[in-house]
Structure 1
Amino acid sequence: MPVMHFHVIWPDKTQTHCYSPSLVVQEYLQVGQSYPLNDFVQRCREALHIASERVRAKYSFACSQALDQLAEIEHLAAPFQTQADAQVLVTAFS
């Protein structure tokens, strides 16, 4: 199963390299696109759950790394929840 990393810049200009066990994230995010914070988190939630389920279908167990990555994204997003204009920029896939 192909692994994908996606790179993002948070509203405070910090960068995070995120993991997905599947290429499905390309269906939910686009390089060079900024997303409102809540939209970004929701897109990641959907993509990483699908990715985890693809692992389950192939190997008979969910991908804990995908679910851990989602938890990290939600944790990193939390401080920006009060910023009405908070955006997350997707900078690369690798």
Structure 2
Amino acid sequence: MSKMMAAAAPALPIWDKYIFQDLLLIKRWKKIGGKDKMLRIDEADHIYQKIKTWYGTFICSKDGKKCIVEFDAAMPNYKDKLTVVKKIDYLLWSKR
């Protein structure tokens, strides 16, 4: 579902276990399993805010800018077709 939402709103990062692992949020996510539904929703919102904050910070950083430049050089046909968030999504996913 999150990948579909991220495709519909390309300025938003993907939400999945691999992003949790890469951003060191997996333990926090696993802790909320089995808890009250409203508590899980609230914690999920906090985690997603952390993910969005990480993306924003990384994209503006020296390393983030370098990754975008290298992505655009490697994939010139997609330079103007993908948002910077999607480019970072793909770079994180390429680690698999």
**TM category, shorter:** 0.3 to 0.5
**Higher normalized contact order (CA 8 Å, seq sep 6+, divided by chain length):** 1
Larger Rg: 2
* Structure showing the higher helix proportion among its residues: 2
TM-score relative to the length of structure 2: 0.36
* Structure showing the higher strand proportion among its residues: 1
TM-score relative to the length of structure 1: 0.37
